[in-house]
Amino acid sequence: MKSKKQNKHNLIDPFQFLEKDIPQTRKWLKSEQQKADEYFLRNKYKKSLIKRIKLLQNIESKSIPVIKDGNTFFSWRKKNEEIGSVYIIKKGSKKPSVLLNSESIFKRYGYVLESWIPSKYGTRLAYLLSKSGNDKASIFILDVNKKTTLKDHIPDYVYPNFMCWNNHGDGFWYVHANFKSPKSEEKLNMKIYFHKVGDDFKKDKCLLGEKMGKTDWPIIKTSEDGKYFIISIYNSSKEKRTTQAFLGKTNDKNGAIIEILKKEDHLSYVYIHRDSVYLLTNKNVQNWKVQKAKISDLELGQLAFRTIIKEDKNSKESICFIKNRCFVEVLENASSQLYVHDLNGKLQRKINLPTRGTISTMRGEKEGDKLFFLFSSYSFPVTIFSLAINKKKPTIYFQDTSHFDYKKIEVKQEFFRSKDGTLVPMFIVYKKGLKKDGNSPTLAYGYGGFGWSITPSFHSDIVPFLEDGGIYVEINIRGGGEFGQKWHDAGKLFKKQNSFNDFIAGLNHLVKEKYTSRGKLAIFGWSNGGLLIGSVITQYPNICKVAIIGAPVLDMARYHLFDGGRYWISDYGDPNNKKYLKNLLKYSPYHNIKTGISYPSILVLTAQKDDRVHPMHAYKFVAKLKAQAKLSNPVLLRVEGNAGHGGASGISKYIEQQADMWSFVHDQLKRI
């Protein structure tokens, strides 16, 4: 089975064959999946757990409405449906009707609706379908009035991403990769194209093609009046992420485009509202600021911008413009707060939110009169709020129903000291009446990467665990963005070990404070969080009883060779550079599995069609564990066949995945 293959780093890699879809790999996978299947068939708790999760999931859910010229578009998943369909309430009507029956498409073909975008006047709808629920999705166009799909089709093999419609709705901008990209570069060479509805997409005009590099990631937005477009180009394939931006006129036949932001080592998210361009930027600041420039002044480049909302002690997460208002979401101690400013940055008021929680989306018509935002917390259901722009108090537009009593849940935020003395927060969630005797089953989750903030939000899958007396914990380790750019910088590249140290210190805090004990402790992470869990258990095998590792990055010497791995270099470092490789190998989970060492009970989850984090990471890690470790505890590999990075397509598959994960925790913590 094993072959001592040497890779380009002169590292012996006996399981490199698992990177390829070959008979040897398929045979190995079949064997591992059979072992996992047999385990879960024997798990008596799983059957009752599936019943409970089904009840929790069998609710109606809706997306934030998108209003275009009086027409309201939204997704709606009704009870007993696998995925949501797109509905419309036409101008002058109150009755919703199905516009795109994606539930039917899913049941007939297995295709997953990834996203949808109506044109300015709501006459057309672009929608993206993925065959496997992964990042590879095709673009289709729907005639809204006729409810028929046009012949236009941007195929998935070029990894298209829809950007925005033109004002007339007869064309749109999008990005796609090179037609002939080699296998390891399918997500690279992204460029912007304009597609005229009815044309052959292969003849679409490319914008800024010669100015863009292989690992640039472009985004285009248009002004509300349709006269201008802004192109932002991001790059994260080097030590520091960069931003560059250009301005163009949509009706300029000569294609004249001016540079308004030179390529520099910072992030700037660009917004267009009325006659101005706004930047949410971390240039020369840690906690972000908002800048503004008149479109008419943009020929001056960066000199045209002035700061209208200064940096303060809290990190700014997102902004949204409606009429003469700028809504700003900030994080205060890892929880969302919402502030309203005028268009010159003057603070007008703070909006009171129900509890410490998360605003996950803000949206509204540019010249409308309402802001819609999605909010939830551990003990507050997913809710769409509507806020009139001149009001202080939001009202509930739609709220998920639930077969769960939120009032029974207690949420605490505690701070602890990491290895270097840094104060780090965690959220601790449990059923009221908890007795702190060190005997409570506990699952701790972490992420800590790419400036992504982990904030309080509702997770229906944790409910059975809480009801059975378990404790759920989220630890806000460095590498995330909870406290601005400095928090992110302190957990990446040569400081990546800080992320692991923070998580380990958090686990020690839970034991010290008698929330739990080592034998009752499970840890969990997904994607970059999978790297976290893999690194923690290979550094400290006795840290916990159970480790759940989902869609993980585990081979840090070869991560950059697959799918979009090169876009992660700004967080991890380039393995082709010896100084980075040396650092990566210090914590790379795959390379730090020790011979003869007993590890926790481990469940690794991945999907064969995951094209964001290649499943080879999971395969190789499990294979090496079984070859070298002392297997006193189970090591299982759960592979979803037709799914992407989320690990499941449709509610049924999601329920099965969650039932496997939580029944494994239940079984290994001896809670039956």
Mean pLDDT to the nearest integer, 406-414: 95
| Spatial separation of the C-alpha atoms in residues 560 and 569, rounded to whole Å | 8
Judge whether residue 339 has pLDDT over 60.
yes
What is the separation, in whole angstroms, between the first and last Cα of the chain? 37
The interaxial angle of helices 44-57 and 651-668, nearest 10 deg, is: 140
**Model pLDDT, residue 254:** 78
**Model pLDDT, residue 10:** 66
**Model pLDDT, residue 638:** 98
Residue 154, SS3 per DSSP: strand
Q: What length is written for the chain?
A: 672
Question: What domains can you pick out in the chain, each with its CATH number?
Answer: 25-55+404-668 (3.40.50.1820), 60-207 (2.130.10.120)
| Averaged pLDDT of the chain | 95
Taking only the tens place, the pLDDT of each residue in 5-36 is: 555 566 789 999 999 999 999 999 999 999 99
Residues 6+ positions from 198 with CB-CB distance below 8 Å? 150, 151, 152
Per DSSP, the chain holds a count of helices (H) and strands (E) of 11, 39
Taking only the tens place, the pLDDT of each residue in 244-288 is: 999 999 988 777 899 999 999 999 999 999 999 999 999 999 999
Mean pLDDT to the nearest integer, 551-575: 96
Tell me which of 128-137, 247-256, 444-453 is least confident. Answer: 247-256
Q: Quick check: 542 and 521 in contact, CB under 8 A?
A: no
| Spatial separation of the C-alpha atoms in residues 125 and 104, rounded to whole Å | 18
Other Cβ atoms less than 10 A from the Cβ of 609: the count is 19
**Model pLDDT, residue 9:** 60
Provide the pLDDT confidence category of residue 1 given band limits of 50, 70 and 90: very low
**Model pLDDT, residue 7:** 55
Taking only the tens place, the pLDDT of each residue in 44-67 is: 999 999 999 999 999 999 999 999
| Spatial separation of the C-alpha atoms in residues 452 and 185, rounded to whole Å | 25
Residues 6+ positions from 282 with CB-CB distance below 8 Å? 266, 267, 268, 288, 289, 484, 485
Taking only the tens place, the pLDDT of each residue in 609-665 is: 999 999 999 999 999 999 999 989 999 999 999 999 998 889 999 999 999 999 999
**Model pLDDT, residue 5:** 56
Q: Quick check: 567 and 241 in contact, CB under 8 A?
A: no
